[in-house]
Chains A and B, each alone.
Chain A
Amino acid sequence: DIVLTQSPLSLPVNPGEAASMSCRASQRLTHSDGYSYLNWYLQRPGQSPQLLIFLASNRASGVPDRVSGTGSGTDFTLRISTVEAEDVGIYYCMQALETPKTFGQGTRVEMK
């Protein structure tokens, strides 16, 4: 199975500041078709996860442009340019290159 390692596990931020988190894969997630099969999700407290970013850098419908995803190969990053209260929760990366699909352990974002 592909192992995804996220860091940091906890990320305290002030409103209005930028936030960045990492997801590292145990093998390359960039396919020969050029796409990287890495996705990002946010799980707000008490809610189901919701899709933020698919194929490493594509924002899902309704996701604000202050949220962005970058990366290829084994190293991926999610950035929030200006953190707002609604960004609090646990961020998971998920690989869809191979089955079984696997998730990282999550990065918890909380307000200072």
Chain B
Amino acid sequence: HVQLQESGPGLLKPSQTLSLTCNVSGDSTRSGDYYWSWIRQPPGKGLEWIGYSYYSGGSYYNPSLKSRVGISMDTSKNQLSLKVKSVTAADTAVYYCAREDAFSGYVESWGQGTLVIVSS
């Protein structure tokens, strides 16, 4: 049973870089059966898929964020990371780490989420 745990600063100022880490336990991020992704949810709003990374180093980003976002994996630490540059108040959200089935594309496991607030 995989477990995903997000961590990182909960408060940022505008223009700073958001950096989050997801620790994965109960499965190996080297598994070719899954993509490892980030999804966010502004307070009281719906879900937005940010992108995913694959164990081989490949990644895909939502074009709405592509110029500012980076997702990377450290398979030796079984960790997934997210960076979002030049944040604004619109980046305030709960950020979820997730595991996606690589063949059918559905998100089948979610972390508990971490709230990031961008405020001056």
Contacts and interface: CB of A to CB of B under 8 A. Distances in A.
Contact of A51 (B51, B60, B106, B112): B106
A96 B46 contact: no
Contacts, number: 57
A55 B109 CA distance: 16
Tell me what chain A mostly uses at the interface: helix, strand, loop, or mixed. Answer: loop
B96 A48 contact: yes
Nearest to A103: B47
- Chain B interface category by residue count: 20 to 34
Report which residue of B108, B111, B113 has the largest number of chain A beta carbons within 10 angstroms of its beta carbon. Answer: B108
Nearest to A100: B62
Interface residues of A, number: 23
Given A100-B62, A101-B49, A106-B46, A54 B112 contact: no
Interface string B92-120: 00001000110011111111110000000
Nearest to A53: B106
A76 interface: no
Nearest to A90: B46
A96 B111 contact: no
A74 to B, nearest CB: 18
Contacts of B111: 48
B96 A96 contact: no
